[in-house]
Amino acid sequence: MASNPAAPPPGILRHPVQLLAFGFGSGLSPKAPGTAGTLVAIPLFLLVNAALANTASPLLWYSLFIVVTAVAGVWICDRASAQLGVHDHPGIVWDEFVGYWITMWALPAGWVWVLAGFVAFRIFDILKPWPIGWLDRKVEGGFGIMIDDVLAGVMACICVHVLVWLVAAG
């Protein structure tokens, strides 16, 4: 029987890079690993958001958090992909984490916005409208793995901010 190149080797989560890349195991979900990864990103977002809430400049610190996790994600995804020998393995979901965190930038607190961000991000990440899909197909390496989700997060963030504005204006 031929081995499945998309199947991660047993014990993969013992490697710190793979543990992060596979979203603490969420990327091992047999169905919709990207959605599973995004679901795990939610409590992490809530923890970070709560930790930054009492700082002098929470939005500045959250923005720095996004930049650091995105830049680290390029390295994490590149290393994980190289170790697996598969570009953009479906189980690599660190990019979904960062994409969701970007989506949630400067949104109001509350479960309705957490859910709206989740839905908006998943729509953009799954449908990959231009230029997301083009970047996904054309850009290689860790940057290629990350950039389509970063852009999906930016587009989802804009859409949810418009929704916030419409609700406030309503």
Question: What are the C-alpha distances in Å from 5 to residues 77, 97, 142, 149?
Answer: 16, 23, 18, 23
Distance (Å, whole) CA 15 – CA 70: 20
**DSSP-derived secondary structure letter, 15:** S
pLDDT of residue 161: 98
Count of CB atoms situated within 10 Å of the CB of 14? 8
Q: Is residue 5 part of a domain?
A: no
**DSSP-derived secondary structure letter, 128:** -
Q: Is residue 51 part of a domain?
A: yes
pLDDT of residue 158: 98
Q: Is residue 7 part of a domain?
A: no
Q: Is residue 43 part of a domain?
A: yes
Q: Is residue 29 part of a domain?
A: yes
Please check whether residue 95 is in contact with residue 151, taking contact to mean a CB–CB distance below 8 angstroms.
Answer: no
Q: Is the pTM of this model over 0.75?
A: yes
Range of the domain at 38: 13-169
Phi-psi label, residue 7: left if phi above 0, alpha if psi -120 to 50, beta otherwise: beta
Structurally, how many domains does the chain consist of?
1
Q: Is residue 75 part of a domain?
A: yes
Q: Is residue 67 part of a domain?
A: yes
pLDDT of residue 13: 85
Q: Is residue 2 part of a domain?
A: no
- Which residue numbers in the chain have pLDDT < 50? 1-4
Question: What are the C-alpha distances in Å from 17 to residues 148, 160, 161?
Answer: 20, 32, 33
